[in-house]
Structure 1
Amino acid sequence: MLKDWKKILLLAIPSIASFASMTLTGTINLIMVGQLGALAIAIVGVSNIIMYNAWALFSGIGHTTNYLVAQNYGSNTMKQGVERTYIAFYLCVFACIFTFLVGLFFPESIFRVLGSSVEMIEEGSTYLQIRFYAMLFSIFIFVFHGFFRGIGDTKTPMISSVVGNVIMIILTYGLTYGNLGLPKLGLFGAGLALLIGEFVIFLICAYVYFIKLHKSYETRSRVAFNYKESKLILGESSKLGIQEFSMSMAMFVFTAFVTRLGTEALAANEVALSVMSLGFMPAFAFGSTATILVGQEVGRGQPFEGKKAGTNTAIIGSIFLFILGILQFFFAEPIARVYTHDPAVYELAARLIMISAFLQLFDGLLNFYAGGLRGIGDTSFLLKTSLILGWLLFIPLSYLLTFTLELASIGAWISLYTYLTAFGVCVMIRFYRSDWSLVRANVGETSEI
């Protein structure tokens, strides 16, 4: 047991550090930008939701690379793993073209659809445009990280994320307020800092993949078109991408509801989401670890070892979230005060944080067991469940509690965690009710490197 837990932690801790650096960067940036006022907090918060939707739409490419490469690594067929990664890169090119065009022409329209104020549209459109351009690098980064994690290398994503995010923080401090001898660009400077940081992460990942790993895996090999593999990766990427997009669009509608409650309510909502992202961090990290371990064991032809690894990962991840929940519950208001000095904002944000502190355990279950299901390639279930619960439970319940019963932000957050709880329980049941004796790796006859 201790040996298994040690293996999980050796994979998970760098992933936690990687996700933590991204989360902490977002938190610090929001705190720094927050000094510009509630409007700036609201713009950054709404932009975060919009960009989460943009990322989610194409995230399936990275998720698919992650679980297929993990299976290839376990089955010692890494030539196929590299071929699959190249196909993923080709898909990224098309994704980037689409993202660039949306960022170029539609930022103002997106804000209008959300029901944003005229002031928010005027101040936030340029910032959102820069965020779309930064997403061009993020799409590729997620595929690089998927490959690295698939081969059990969680340190490279950690190092690249930490370096890039430190640069983001420094440049946000300098470019937003004119510090460190840099020009004072306000919200535009904060967006530019994020763009530069993402570019640095992309460069580090490209160096490791194409240069450092070439000797071991021939990562610069020419890859011919393979219809069967292309169809597999497109299909799996579509299912996982639509699943994430369904969840993110549900959050998009959720944010639209909160936006209509006013700028202060929206600012409090974004502060609370920023704080709760500290809980999402270990959830994502252990979910990624579950995908790695389950996928590799399935690749080795040992699915029941994969099931055991998934269970142990969920146990350790839940312990992390429980400890974090205790801290968030008892220090909710002091934490909220770090973001803003507006009593109306931090008092409401503190109540939202207290609601979420322990309920985030169910979000953890969702990530842990969804990671395990990705490891065995059970992507159709994740897609169906996401669509049903997101649009038949979460959205109607959000409207009912927020507006019909007039519970405002509190009602919105109750509906959010009702949704996450239902989703988490569903994927956990699916994980244990799956017939593991029938689980097989999705690998072909490929020569070893």
Structure 2
Amino acid sequence: MDKQNQKSLTLFSLTWPIFIEILLHMLMGNADTLMLSQYDDSAVAAVGVSNQILSVVIVMFGFVATGAGILVAQNLGADNHKNAGEIAVSSISLNLWFSLILSVGLYLFSELILNIMELPSELMGNATIYMNIVGGLIFVQALIMTAGAILRNYGFTKDAMYVTIGMNIINVIGNYIFIFGPFGLPVLGVQGVAIATATSRFLGFLVLAVLLIKRSEVELPFASFFRYQKSHLKGLLRIGIPSAGEQLSYNASQMAITYFITQLGTTAITTKVYVQNISMFIFLAAIAIGQGTQILIGHYIGAEKVQEAYKRCFNSTKIAMSISVLMAVIVYLFSDTLLGIFTDNQDIIESGSFLLMLTILLEPGRATNLVVINSLRGAGDVTFPVVIGIISMWGISVSFAWFFGLVVGLGLSGIWIGFIVDEWLRGIIMIFRWRGKAWVRKAFV
């Protein structure tokens, strides 16, 4: 990337394509849910639980993608393009072999994993089909994550956005064909949704690969695909493993909470799926701002601009909190209508509406975490958020969810109380961490 392009990086120029990309990823998931809801509510629950499990696996791919993104940004900030290219290629290679192993494991042991979750028997068939297809080909998602992270940190956030648009179009068309069976085509239900998802991901990766090769600013020494430099691997693992650890802990805790919800029955599972699908749109901006801020701070750290990085984090946090709270209020005001898009079950609508009201209290804490934790990662301070995350997610979120949800008998409302306390506690701790500037000592290229 030349100096002019590097100077043109701003929070807005980075964030809006990321915002659109994540929005489209969410729409892809919501398209699956919405279309399946016209087919069968139990199919929604089956796919929802399967995706909860797959999300944990996807986070495991993230340790390489996250490490690659941060190191590429820091090396570009230091104007070291050779190292950036070598790290990019090595990260793609490393994630490919790792994800292939996990894909085989998911295909072979999908039913065993679902049994551990104590999934209701009426959901097991559809969930197993979805896990076999989407889980067995999950390595493609690992490649998408890695290639996308590299392009974004080189400043090409629009490339990943355009690819996601294409993936969404293919996914929706595939869903329509397999769920509704136009022109006399067979109706495949959950199996069809899984095929559409896997196909759109595969084609999306092919396009991302072409874009990586095409961009002249991205110098890719392909010899690094087979020959890893010890220093690059050490950097990827030193940043990536702790960074993914925080997300892995979060998703694993969500799996534990999903296990609690399965004790409440299929209606509770379905309600959680619908509410979380809607909630994603509330904190979408905070996710995008957090990722854009991480890229900027990585460049700032590489260029040794510590004060600019310090201010950027706080300014981004204020913006993310304001947007998230506003969105939460708007969504709650229209909650009945939004939930009515997915279902006409009044129990689900009433319960879901109350959960969306509680989400207004949740969002300030969540927005703070999304921005400040990404800022700490961008600066190379990756271990602290993981340690605090594990303590809070399991000590607060999971334990509170179990106690208030199952023991006290508040159900989903009790589980949301655990979410709220966890996000607020971690958010406050992360703010103090950033203010204390301990991350300055950990910044490196």
Task: Give the TM-score normalised by the residue count of structure 2.
Answer: 0.94
Partner of 2:127: 124
Deviation at 1:102, TM superposition (A): 1.9
Residue 148 of structure 1 contacts residue 154 of structure 1 at CA under 8 Å; is this kept in 2? yes
By how many angstroms is 1:440 displaced? 3.8
Change in CA separation of 1:142 and 1:181 when aligned onto 2, cut-off 3 Å = farther
2:108 is aligned with 1:105: yes
More displaced, 61-70 or 225-234?
225-234
Q: Paired residue for 2:140? A: 137
- CA 182–19 in structure 1, closer or farther in 2 if over 3 Å, else same: farther
> Would the aligned equivalents of 1:258 and 1:265 in 2 still touch at CA under 8 Å?
yes
Given the alignment of the two structures, is residue 202 of structure 1 paired with residue 176 of structure 2, yes or no? Answer: no
Aligned AA for 2:119? Answer: S
Aligned ranges for residues 263-342 of structure 1 at < 5 Å?
A: 263-342=266-345
Deviation at 1:361, TM superposition (A): 2.3
Following TM superposition, by how much is the alpha carbon of 1:358 offset from its aligned partner in structure 2, in angstroms?
4.2
Q: Which residue of 2 aligns with 1:230?
A: 233
In the TM superposition, what whole-angstrom CA distance separates every residue of 1:95-128 from its partner, at most 9, and x where no partner exists?
2222222222111111111111222112220112
Q: Deviations over 1:212-268 (max 9, x none)?
A: 12x323224422431122122123222122221111000000111011100011101
Deviates more, 1:222-231 or 1:9-18: 222-231
Aligned length: 437
| 2:119 alignment partner, SS class | coil
How far off is 1:438 after superposition? 4.0
Contact persistence 2:31–2:172 (CA under 8 A):
yes
Whether 1:72 aligns to 2:75 is yes
Choose from 134, 150, 157 the match for 2:160: 157
Residue 250, structure 1, aligned to residue 239, structure 2: no
1:63-105 per-residue CA deviation (whole Å, 9 max, x = no partner) reads: 1111111111111112101111222122212322222222221
One-letter amino acid of the counterpart of residue 153, structure 1: F
Aligned position for 1:426: 429
Shift of 1:205: 0.7
Q: Is the 8 A contact 1:366 1:427 kept in 2?
A: yes
TM superposition shift of 1:425: 1.9
CA shift, 1:309, in A, is 1.8
Alpha-carbon distance in 2 for matches of 1:436, 1:413: 31
Separation of aligned partners in 2, 1:178 and 1:57: 36
User: Structure 2 regions of 5+ residues with no counterpart?
Assistant: 1-6
Q: What is the one-letter code of the residue matched to 1:37?
A: D
1:29 aligns with 2:22: no
Contact 1:289 1:313 in 2 (8 A): no
Alpha-carbon RMSD across the aligned residues, in angstroms, is 1.8
Q: Name the aligned partner's letter for residue 300 of structure 2.
A: E
Residue 45 of structure 1 pairs with residue 48 of structure 2: yes
* CA distance in structure 2 between the aligned counterparts of 1:417 and 1:5, rounded to whole angstroms: 37
Q: Deviations over 1:363-407 (max 9, x none)?
A: 111110011001100011021111111222221111110111111
Counterpart CA distance in 2 for 1:439 and 1:419 is 26
State which of 252, 262, 267 in structure 1 corresponds to 2:265: 262
Hey, what's the Cα distance between the residues in 1 that align with 2:363 and 2:292? 18
Task: Find the aligned partners of 2:384 and 2:428 in 1 and give their Cα distance.
Answer: 13
Which residue does the alignment assign to 2:64? 61
- Work out which of the residue numbers 174, 177, 181 in structure 1 matches 2:177: 174
Which residue pairs with 1:344 in the alignment? 347
Task: Tell me which of 393, 396, 399 is aligned to 2:396.
Answer: 393
Is the CA contact 1:328–1:353 (under 8 Å) kept in the aligned structure 2?
A: yes
Cα pair 2:179 2:193 within 8 Å, conserved: yes
Q: Which amino acid aligns with 1:114?
A: M
**1:148 equivalent in structure 2:** 151
Distance 1:104 1:134, change over 3 A: closer
Per the TM alignment, residue 436 of structure 1 is displaced from its structure 2 partner at its CA by: 6.3
Paired letter, 1:317 = A
CA distance in 2, matches of 1:6, 1:96: 32
Alpha-carbon shift at residue 129 of structure 1 (Å): 1.4
Report percent identity of matched pairs: 22
Residue 94 of structure 2 is aligned to residue 91 of structure 1: yes
Question: How many Å separate the matches in 1 of 2:159 and 2:299?
Answer: 19
How much has 1:199 moved relative to structure 2? 0.9
Code of the aligned partner of 1:191: A
Please name the residue that 1:239 is paired with. 242
Q: What is the CA distance between 1:181 and its match in structure 2?
A: 6.2
Give the AA of the match of 1:339. Answer: F
Q: 2:104, 2:136 within 8 Å by CA — same for their partners in 1?
A: no
TM-score normalised over the length of structure 1: 0.93
The 2-side partners of 1:319 and 1:352 are apart by 20
Q: What's the secondary structure of 2:223's corresponding residue?
A: coil
1:12-50 Cα distance to aligned partner (Å, 9 max, x none)? 111110000011121122011012222111111111211
Residue 359 of structure 1 deviates from its aligned partner by 1.8
1:366 is matched with: 369
For 2:220, the aligned partner's letter is T
Shift of residue 409, structure 1, vs aligned partner: 0.9
1:356 is aligned to 359
Q: In 2, distance between residues paired with 1:222 and 1:273?
A: 43
